Amino acid sequence: MKRNSKKLKIGYIGGGSRGWAHTFINDLAQCEDLSGEVFLYDIDYEAAKRNEKFGNWVQSLNEAVGSWEYRAVKERKKALDDADFVILSIQPGPIEHMAKDIDIPQKYGIYDTVCDTVGPGGTVRAMRTIPIYRDFARAIRKHCPDAWTINYTNPMTVCTRTLYEEFPRIKAFGCCHEVFGTQSFLASLVRKYWDVEEEPSRDEIDVNVKGINHFTWIDRAEWRGRDLFPLLDRHVTEEGVVREFETEEMKEESYFVDNFQVTYELYKRFGILPAAGDRHLVEFVPWFLEDVDDPESLHRWGIRLTPNEYRLERWREAPKKFHKQMEGEEEFEFIDSGEEGIDQMKALLGLGDMKTNVNLPNQGQMPEMPEGAVVETNAYFSQNQISPVTAGKLPRQVRNMILTHVYNQETLVEAGFKGDVDLAFQAFLNDPLVNLDTERARELFEEMVRETQDFLDDWNLKDSETLK
């Protein structure tokens, strides 16, 4: 791609998104360096039409400095043909299926906080997603093989890995903002403990990222060349920073509240800083979510379970907010989203280099992880190129925790390409949250698969020995 030589074409798969699409529209409208068309494709065409209307309305506002036109299309081919960039942002299966991913394991005493990456729900969600992403990769290979593909869908690792397994030459990477929250937290410590006039922006905090999506870690953090780990060590000794929370004080908190108590606990135990929110971290290790008699014991760590009623209501109510803004019933304001998708696109177009954390197949940036497995580290973005940064080794026990999930994710991808349900069950059984005997685990797996079987056409359910 030449430096801003033409109007860009962006093919947005999942263009009826009720969340991320609106962030993307907000960010594009504030970027005067790029211009072009965004083609919105979704299996729910009416949802894509809503976002077409909203996107073009945003572009009509005086404050919009970007020049973009949004078009909803009924055929995916029209969105992808000769696209410069492809955005993948979907809900794999109906939102009601995510509710079942959460509800069914609870009958077996297994509780999830997010349920989109690991655990029983994350495993079955991956089973739904792998065939979809194989199809995406084939379509990209056919219609726009040289496009850069940016994935925002979870399970991030499995989605990105599937794209490369189906189309090895694809130029794809996965983006997640979890590390940004840790950078912001470290920036707040700079303001609190050092004599600076104002808190640094989070992108001033230079961190070395290593791990897998939603289970990332940081072993170096600096601000203007100054080591931030002594600040962290000081902070966790301050009175009231590390503490237990009571259920009563958590009742009115946001379902997304993060008090860093899981982060502090893991840092204390392993000497390396977790770099994802506590709601994600607790799903990767067995210690925080295994009190089956009292699921509210999670409150002790300053986080909450997110009830399905809230998730379903938020999904159903989301379009109303943007309709009210267009009708003048609610005020619309451009925001600084903190996301980096537009900056990444600019760098790939030759409009300035950048370094940030992304999900890519391992080419040695994490030497202790299997080659080809998708890992999350820093990478340099430059014109038409992404160069992963070597992250170095992890403490042995942290590496062991991560490897369990890496091999489970690799097994799921292999199973998805074979349609092998029994192989997928091996990954399910090996997940740290599945703290059941093998027969109970099989019963849970079978119940979850049966509930979502309408979206598992590529899987050989009929011949599975696991599904009795």
What letter represents residue 265's amino acid? E
What's the pLDDT at 105? 95
Q: Which of 177, 214, 323, 405 is the catalytic position? A: 177
Please state, rounded to an integer, the average pLDDT across all residues of the chain.
95
Query: Can you give the pLDDT at residue 264?
Result: 98
Q: Confirm if 232 and 186 have CB atoms less than 8 A apart.
A: yes
pTM: 0.96
How many other C-beta atoms lie within 10 A of the C-beta of residue 219?
19
Other C-beta atoms closer than 10 Å to the C-beta of 342 total 18
For residue 306, the model assigns a pLDDT of: 87
Residue 286 pLDDT more than 90? Answer: no
What six digits make up the tokens of 2?
A: 């030449």
The neighbour count for residue 193, using CB atoms within 10 Å, is 15
pLDDT at 5: 46
For the domain spanning 8-176, the CATH number is 3.90.1820.10
- Long-range contacts, stretch 433-436, CB < 8 angstroms, 24+ apart: 433/110, 433/112, 433/118, 433/119, 433/120, 433/283, 433/286, 433/289, 433/290, 434/110, 434/119, 434/120, 435/110, 435/286, 435/290, 436/108, 436/110
Q: How many CB atoms lie within 10 A of CB 249?
A: 10
User: In this model, does residue 364 exceed pLDDT 60?
Assistant: yes
User: For residue 14, what are the CA distances in angstroms to 46, 88, 248, 464?
Assistant: 12, 6, 39, 32
- The pLDDT of residue 292 is 55
- Please report, rounded to a whole number, the percentage of residues in the chain having pLDDT higher than 70: 98
Flag whether pLDDT at 221 surpasses 80.
Answer: yes
| pLDDT for 327 beyond 80 | yes
Could you read off the pLDDT of 149-205 as tens digits, one per residue?
Answer: 999 999 999 999 999 999 999 999 999 999 999 999 999 999 999 989 999 999 999
Matching residue, tokens 């060590």: 233
Checking if the pLDDT of 3 tops 70, the result is: no
Q: What was the pLDDT predicted at 461?
A: 97
Cα–Cα separations (whole angstroms), residue 306 to 311, 312, 317: 7, 11, 17
Residue 353 in 3-state DSSP?
A: coil
Question: For residue 295, is pLDDT > 80?
Answer: no
Residue 294 has pLDDT above 80, yes or no: no
The predicted structure's pLDDT at residue 291: 67
From 18-32, 284-298, 307-321, the region with the lowest mean pLDDT: 284-298
pLDDT confidence of residue 250 = 93
Q: Is 280 a catalytic residue?
A: no
Around 262, how many Cα atoms within 13 Å sit in the side-chain half-sphere? 27
Residue 452 DSSP class: T
Lowest mean pLDDT among 252-256, 363-367, 387-391, 446-450: 252-256
